[in-house]
Structure 1
């Protein structure tokens, strides 16, 4: 089973640039084209939040038009830049989304790996949280299939990265989530967005990784005095490859055309 993960496209209304600098819409189109040229194609595509920048209906309209170019099944979760009601309205045809409350759900009919999407966003805030409601929901759904390979998807990562201008907006109460996940060794991976960077960490007895953005890269600055900074590095996506004999292998793939291929390895 092949699961592609794209994240943080920050779509804007037609003709508007992301932060007046970047054509984020064109970059999401490039990501869609890249997904469609992959051989073999992914069985499922995950978009792990911040689909749009301002949570506006005009942005979601553009996002849906671009995402319509993905022929594979697509599952989405909101990020801190998404607006919950507008998100729910924009993806009303996605039957897996709940009609109210946090947009958490499970998908189990797309292959051997079950998808558990955990919405940790808080309307009006940039950080996420594992509160009583979310903790109880996660425990319940993991307990329902304790032997099935499972991939947990969320937006804000539940750990501190050391980047001073990002960590205040992490998912809080991460230790509570780690305690729950540690009881279920069938959790193959936790995947997040939000950071616009690829990172890996051991978490709750499994591996947690964050996806790069299809648009911009947040600077890796570990100095406590560092201030906000972003680069226009090559955009990328993650490909999670499930095989029964190895489990889940995660690949970092650059989006775009580069010199090659050459006849050596």
Structure 2
């Protein structure tokens, strides 16, 4: 099973630039072309939040038009730049969003790996939170098939990355999530966005991975008093490859493949 993982496209209304500086729409269009050109094709495409920049109807409509070339099922969760009800209306036709409440979902119909999406957004704020209701929902969801390989998606990472100016807006109460996950060794990955950088670390007895943004990169500034900044680094996506007994391998895949193919050397 092959899963293409996009994150943080920050789609704007047609003709508008992200933060007035970056053509996030064009960059997301290029990312979609990269996904549709994959051989073999992915079985599933997932997106870990911040689908739009301002959560307007025009932005969601444009995001869906940019995603239209993808023929595989798409699963997505909201980020802090999304808005729950606008997101729900936009993705209602994709079959994974619940009709009311937080946008949690369980998707197990697309292959051997189950995908669980968590809506940890706090309306009106940029941080996320693992509250008691989310913990109870997740525990019940995993327990329906405790032995099935599982990916858990959430937007803000429930850990500190070391980049202080983004850690202030992380997902709080991550220890609650870690406690649940640690009881289920079949949770193969915790997948996040938000940081606009690729990062991997241990969490709850499994692997947590943050996907890069297709729009921009938050500066890797690890000094405690570092000034916030962003760069336009080469955008990328993650590709998660489940190979049965061999387990799950994750590949970092640049949107622009660069020069090649060249003779093997």
Q: Distance between the aligned counterparts of 1:217 and 1:130, measured in 2?
A: 26
Q: Distance between the aligned counterparts of 1:75 and 1:257, measured in 2?
A: 25
SS at match of 1:226: coil
Query: 2:124 corresponds to which residue?
Result: 124
Q: Which runs of 5+ in 1 are unaligned?
A: none
1:1-265 equivalences in 2 (<5 Å): 1-265=1-265
Q: Distance between the aligned counterparts of 1:67 and 1:262, measured in 2?
A: 30
Return the offset for 1:150.
0.4
Q: Distance between the aligned counterparts of 2:40 and 2:163, measured in 1?
A: 36
SS at match of 1:91: helix
CA 1:257/1:200 → structure 2, altered by over 3 Å: closer, same or farther? closer
Q: Would you say the 8 A contact 1:88–1:97 is kept in 2?
A: yes
Q: Would you say the 8 A contact 1:191–1:211 is kept in 2?
A: yes
Q: Which runs of 5+ in 2 are unaligned?
A: none
Q: Distance between the aligned counterparts of 1:168 and 1:257, measured in 2?
A: 34
Per-residue CA deviations over 1:73-102 (Å, capped at 9, x if unaligned) read 111110000011111111121222111111
The alignment's TM-score, normalised by the length of structure 2, stands at 0.98
Q: Distance between the aligned counterparts of 1:62 and 1:89, measured in 2?
A: 14
Q: Distance between the aligned counterparts of 2:205 and 2:172, measured in 1?
A: 18
Per-residue CA deviations over 1:237-256 (Å, capped at 9, x if unaligned) read 00000011211100000001
SS at match of 1:191: strand
Q: Distance between the aligned counterparts of 1:54 and 1:226, measured in 2?
A: 27
The alignment's TM-score, normalised by the length of structure 1, stands at 0.98
Per-residue CA deviations over 1:23-67 (Å, capped at 9, x if unaligned) read 101111000100011110100000110000011111111101101
Q: Would you say the 8 A contact 1:190–1:209 is kept in 2?
A: yes
SS at match of 1:200: strand
Residue-pair matches, total: 265
Q: Would you say the 8 A contact 1:164–1:227 is kept in 2?
A: no
Return the offset for 1:257.
4.0
